[in-house]
Structure 1
């Protein structure tokens, strides 16, 4: 028996490497949940913090009216610069954690 992947199957879901569950809130990203044991939890992130820019780019919908948060599933080891709406800036090092 030979088992081969089904070419019509959907791609596997992306796994978070940030440990943040985010929601879009009026041109900002709101932290909805911080995953236990993840990079964000280890860095002290809390629910309800507001992010206004990622790597210096303001939060804005794409042409398809979605928000690009793929950075949160990027390669482990990448350092993401997050600007909070209160003017502070923090970095988050992405990592595999589950």
Structure 2
């Protein structure tokens, strides 16, 4: 009798944990990309400062444009991370009654 009650939960747990792991891996990959972009932004700002001091404003503007491009990519990553977080929340609420 109890086996039927718990079997519905255990059948879903394998796919749920697999999906959860995939989401976590994706989240970690996005965090690595975010760190890389932050580093690139810092480099672009430093280069822009150097060229501004050397009165090469056109070159400095190119570095600032690249910096804005990286910032736009960061925003996309933040959006994706938010979506992953929301999906993880949904999964935990959806499967809240099935504990192992």
Q: Please, what TM-score do these two structures have when normalized by structure 1? A: 0.22
Instruction: Name the structure where strand makes up a greater proportion of residues.
Output: 1
Q: TM-score, normalised by structure 2?
A: 0.22
Query: Which of the pair is proportionally richer in helix?
Result: 2
Question: Larger Cα Rg: Structure 1 or Structure 2?
Answer: 2
